[in-house]
Amino acid sequence: GAVVSQHPSRVICKSGTSVKIECRSLDFQATTMFWYRQFPKQSLMLMATSNEGSKATYEQGVEKDKFLINHASLTLSTLTVTSAHPEDSSFYICSARFDPGNTEAFFGQGTRLTVV
């Protein structure tokens, strides 16, 4: 299957700082990327959908000013958690799709964010 690389896999940051998470499609061009948040023992909660070259579409209840998403190229999307707080600590995972048709989305390895 296609490869999606997410970096970093783990990050610890201080309250008030910003953290950037990268999601790269290594062997295909991702027209659409999804960002999810997952709490322990819970399902994946979709945060936003980003299409290359356009603004991300955020799900209801997700603060767009806090979770900045940039999909600047067909192989890279970034999620920046701004002014992080301990309640932002979570597992963030991206997925990418190269065809809005009928293909599955491929997932990155996920990023464990801990805000102290």
Q: Which residues bind another protein (CB under 8 A)?
A: 1, 32, 34, 41-44, 46, 49, 91, 93, 95, 97, 100-102, 104-110, 112
Question: CB of 16: closest distance to another protein in angstroms?
Answer: 26
Cβ of residue 109: shortest distance to another protein, in angstroms? Answer: 5
> Residue 13 Cβ, how far from another protein at the closest point, in Å?
18
| Rama region for 78: left / alpha / beta (φ>0; ψ in -120 to 50; rest) | beta
Nearer to another protein, 84 or 94 (CB): 94
User: Smaller CB distance to another protein: residue 16 or 104?
Assistant: 104
Angle 63-67-71 from CA coordinates, rounded to 5°: 125
* 13 versus 107: smaller Cβ distance to another protein: 107
b/e code 26-44 from CB counts within 10 Å (16+ = b):
eebebbbbbbbbeeeeeeb
| d(C-alpha 46, C-alpha 91), whole Å | 12
Determine how β-strand 10-13 pairs with β-strand 111-115: parallel
Q: How far is the CB of 86 from another protein (least distance, A)?
A: 20
**Structure-token pair, residue 77:** 């999307």
Q: Considering the complex, state which of residue 49 and residue 82 has its C-beta at the smaller distance from another protein.
A: 49
